[in-house]
Amino acid sequence: MTPTLAQDIRDAAALLATATDVTILGHVRPDADALGSALALGRALRQRGADVRVSFGEPDEAPETLRWLDEDGLLTHPDDLPDTEALLVCVDTPVPKRLGRLAGRVELAGAVLVIDHHATNTGYGTCNVVDETAEASAILVFRILDELGVELDEPIARGIYAGIVTDTSGFRRARPETHRMAARLLAAGVDPEAVVRRIVDERPFAWLPMLSSVLSEARLEPEAAQGRGFVHAVVRLAAARTVRAEEVESVIDVVRSVREAAVAAVLKQDPVTPGQWQVSLRSKGIDVSAVAAEFGGGGHRQAAGCTVAGSAEEVLAGLRDALERAPLL
What is the predicted pLDDT for the residue at 125?
Answer: 97
φ, ψ for residue 229 (rounded to 5)? 100, 135
For the beta carbon of residue 23, count every other beta carbon within 10 angstroms.
24
- Give percent of the chain above pLDDT 70: 100
What CA–CA distance (Å, rounded) separates 215 from 10? 48
Q: Edge to edge, what strands does the sheet with 127-130 contain?
A: 51-55, 21-25, 87-91, 111-116, 127-130
Q: How confident is the model at residue 1 (pLDDT cuts 50, 70, 90)?
A: confident
The candidate with the shortest Cα–Cα distance to 232, out of 215, 249, 248, is 215
Distances in Å between the alpha carbon of 29 and those of 208, 234, 255, 290?
A: 22, 18, 20, 21
pLDDT at 238: 93
Model pTM? 0.89
| Residue 21, SS3 per DSSP | strand
Query: What pLDDT score does 48 carry?
Result: 95
**To the nearest 10°, the Cα dihedral for 168, 7, 142, 298?**
-40
Q: Which of 141, 37, 117, 142 is nearest to 302 (CA)?
A: 117
Contacts of 52 (CB under 8 A, 6+ apart): 22, 23, 24, 42, 43, 45, 46, 74
